[in-house]
């Protein structure tokens, strides 16, 4: 029970890695806020956790909207007393669109969800963490935030920004009892591909150029175990860094 007594907020938790993280955290003793744009599947995840003697509530949240982020964290505090752990998992892909064909609309949407969302949730929980001199943030970045072409231009830039934001927050608040790290998953079997609609042929061809060296596809549960390590005291000396979980894909 490595998270006993903790309250964890997980965004994008209705499916995939977020769902696996929420379920594992609950099994490890945390009270979990299952947050997602889609409230019905989020409620189903929370109900399943409760059925297994865990503790969870579901809160609808579009991380691209400031008012939703405010409501998410305020509701978590009102219903569960505080927030100890924030997992910024919500994200979308970008149809592999290369820079020459990138629109302002796509760029803004990808950044709003993948980068601005984590900034807003982090900004909202930091006063809570500062008051307690304790708190953990885990951002789900991507191998695309470390490499140049695992997706389109917008996704790549947005995830690179998440990595930089993680390092900044981790170092600046390190002396105040707060840690901030990121996970960079490689290919993982989730439903994020449902956010891909009519992928750009040129961009996808370039992004897939190295797929043959990928050792294997991971599972959401494998990423959840990394998140548990980073959220627990097991990683008390780990801060402001990125843990790559990709079976060695980026090591080539």
Q: pTM score, two decimals?
A: 0.97
Q: Compute the distance between CA of residue 128 and CA of residue 133 in angstroms, rounded to an integer.
A: 9
Residue 150 belongs to a domain: yes
Within-domain flag for 100: yes
Phi-psi domain of 247 (left: phi exceeds 0; alpha: psi -120 through 50; beta: other): left
Average pLDDT over every residue of 233-248: 98
Report pLDDT digits (tens) over 47-77. Answer: 999 999 999 999 999 999 999 999 999 999 9
Q: What is the pLDDT at residue 80?
A: 98
CATH number (domain holding residue 197): 3.40.50.720
Catalytic residue among 155, 165, 173, 249: 155
Residue 95 lies in a domain: yes
Please answer whether residues 25 and 12 qualify as being in contact, where contact means their C-beta atoms are separated by less than 8 angstroms: no
Q: Is residue 105 part of a domain?
A: yes
| Domain coverage including residue 116 | 7-245
Q: What is the pLDDT of residue 192?
A: 75
Q: What is the pLDDT of residues 134-185, one digit of tens each?
A: 999 999 999 999 999 999 999 999 999 999 999 999 999 999 999 999 999 9
In a domain, 173, yes or no: yes
**Separation CA 96–CA 150 (nearest Å):** 8
Tally of structural domains, the chain: 1
Amino acid 134: pLDDT: 98
User: Does the active-site annotation cover 252?
Assistant: no
- Report helix, strand or coil for 236: coil
**Structure tokens, 201:** 């042929």
The mean pLDDT value for 112-127 works out to 98
């Amino acid at each position: 029970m490595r998270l006993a007594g903790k309250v964890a907020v997980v965004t994008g938790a209705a499916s995939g890695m977020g769902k696996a993280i929420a379920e594992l955290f609950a099994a490890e003793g945390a009270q979990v806020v299952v947050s997602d744009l889609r409230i019905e599947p989020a409620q189903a995840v929370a109900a399943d956790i409760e059925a297994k003697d865990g503790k969870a509530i579901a809160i609808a949240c579009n991380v691209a909207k400031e008012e939703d982020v405010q409501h998410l964290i305020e509701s978590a505090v009102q219903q569960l007393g505080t927030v100890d752990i924030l997992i910024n998992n919500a994200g979308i892909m970008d149809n592999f669109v290369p820079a020459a064909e990138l629109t302002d609309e796509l760029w803004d949407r990808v950044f709003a969800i993948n980068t601005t969302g984590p900034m807003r949730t982090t900004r909202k929980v930091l006063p809570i963490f500062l008051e307690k001199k304790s708190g953990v943030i885990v951002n789900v970045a991507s191998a695309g935030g470390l490499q140049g072409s695992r997706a389109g231009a917008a996704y790549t830039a947005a995830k690179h920004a998440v990595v930089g934001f993680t390092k900044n927050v981790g170092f600046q608040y390190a002396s105040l009892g707060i840690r901030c790290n990121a996970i960079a998953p490689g290919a993982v079997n989730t439903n994020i591909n449902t956010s891909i609609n009519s992928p750009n042929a040129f961009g996808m061809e370039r992004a897939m150029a190295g797929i043959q060296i990928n050792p294997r596809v991971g599972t959401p549960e494998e990423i959840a175990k990394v998140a548990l390590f980073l959220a627990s005291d097991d990683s008390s000396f780990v801060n402001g860094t990125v843990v790559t979980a990709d079976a060695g894909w980026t090591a080539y």
